Amino acid sequence: MSKFSLNQTSGTSPILPTLFVVPTGIGCSIGGFAGDAIPSARLLAAASGCLITHPNVMNGASLYWNDTRIQYVEGYALDRFAIGELALRPVRQQKVGLLLDAGLEPALRQRHLQVADGCRASLGLNVGPVVTTEVPLEVRTCTSASGVSSGVIGQPEALLRAGDVLKKAGATAIAVVTRFPDDYVVETLEAYRGGRGVDALAGAEAVISHLLVRHLCIPCAHAPALKTLPIDEKLDPRAAGEEIGHTFLSCVLVGLSRAPDLISLLPKDSGDKRVIPEALNRDQLGAIVAPYDALGGEAVLACLEMGLPLITVTNKSVLDVTPEALGLKEELRKIDVSSVMHAQNYLEAAGLLMLLREGISPEAVSRPITGIAKLD
């Protein structure tokens, strides 16, 4: 098992562990589609040396990218990490159990088993065992009045029981595949495939993975099972990763294969031991990067509360949860002005991370530069 250390260097600079958040199911122009935030994540990982992000950023359906500088952490676990309830312990390999919904048709089930075997044979991943739920999970999708996608699981107890079986069988991470309904709204699907809408599946996927991680405290991620859609000649490139295979499972298996262990720091689990030497704790974080109009999540608010440098990025979504909307303007004024920075895109955000990593004052690279403050 590899160990994490802030003394580790890349080039000449100490690494700057950074949280990268792109909320699920809100239609972000970058990160709202099939892995279209992966290039941004790779850039931020290169700038920081260590990037902690979630499956919504890294899952590209049939496409994926493995980078040892990127820690793949499910969204619920990422929030718990940010508020100090979990530490992340990097590993060389996870044993990924496969949890299949009993609602999968035989042919669709076989497709997913073949993906698992392909990842074992061609990528060397440790996948298995496989467990099928006792009853169909009855997943349903829905959309809120604000346009954010969500969902409901009709049989959550069956999901958790199957997770328990896998964990007891030795799985250290779980990939879950559930059958999603085919009664989608045509206009919604067309808008998404055309690059204009919200991923209608993302909210329900988050509900499923959140439940499993909360119950089991091991890495989990979800892949929806769907019938193949007809060819769309006007398909937006950001959705194309979902069109080139029969399943979305491969990216999940790759992400989970090196997802860090989740170490509980709650007193009941750890005797109030707040620091795990070989793990990454939230106190080691150097920055958080998030969309400017989606700042209401637990991870962002927790990092703001602890005074962590926040880089907001223009990345339009259906939300309008800006500092102004949250009433944070006055609070932000109390924080050192250099702790809250805005970037027009992820290229600029990477530059700001390099600035923080090198310990360069923001004033030194801006013009005009003001005179030094005098107290007398």
Question: 107-120, pLDDT tens digit by residue?
Answer: 999 999 999 999 99
Taking residues 232-252, what's their average pLDDT? 92
DSSP string over 173-226: EEEEEEEPPS---HHHHHHHHTTSS--TTHHHHHHHHHHHHHHH-S-EEEEEE-
Q: Which residues of 46-58 are buried (b: 16+ CB within 10 A; e: fewer)?
A: ebbbbbbbbbbbb
Q: Which of 53, 88, 60 is nearest to 299 (CA)?
A: 53
- When the pLDDT of each residue in the chain is averaged and rounded to a whole number, the result is 91
Query: What pLDDT is attached to residue 2?
Result: 36
Give SS3 for 167.
Answer: helix
What contacts 202, CB < 8 A, 6 or more positions away?
24, 25, 56, 149
Return the residue matching tokens 């009045």.
Answer: 145
Taking domain 1-90+262-376, whether its CATH number is 3.30.300 is answered by no
What contacts 48, CB < 8 A, 6 or more positions away?
15, 16, 17, 18, 69, 286, 287, 353, 357
Q: Which of 122, 216, 232, 126 is nearest to 168 (CA)?
A: 216
pTM of the model: 0.92
Taking domain 93-257, whether its CATH number is 3.40.50 is answered by yes
Q: What is the pLDDT of residues 295-332, one digit of tens each?
A: 989 999 999 888 899 999 999 999 988 888 877 666 66
Q: Which of 245, 198, 252, 211 is nearest to 226 (CA)?
A: 245
Binning pLDDT at 50, 70 and 90, where does residue 72 land? very high
Binning pLDDT at 50, 70 and 90, where does residue 92 land? very high
Query: What pLDDT is attached to residue 344?
Result: 97
Q: State the span(s) of the chain assigned CATH 3.40.50.
A: 1-90+262-376, 93-257
Mean pLDDT lowest among 32-36, 164-168, 222-226, 303-307: 303-307
Taking residues 181-197, what's their average pLDDT? 84
Give SS3 for 342.
Answer: strand
Binning pLDDT at 50, 70 and 90, where does residue 5 land? low
For residue 362, is pLDDT > 80? yes
Estimate to the nearest angstrom the gap between the alpha carbon of 281 and the chain centroid.
Answer: 17
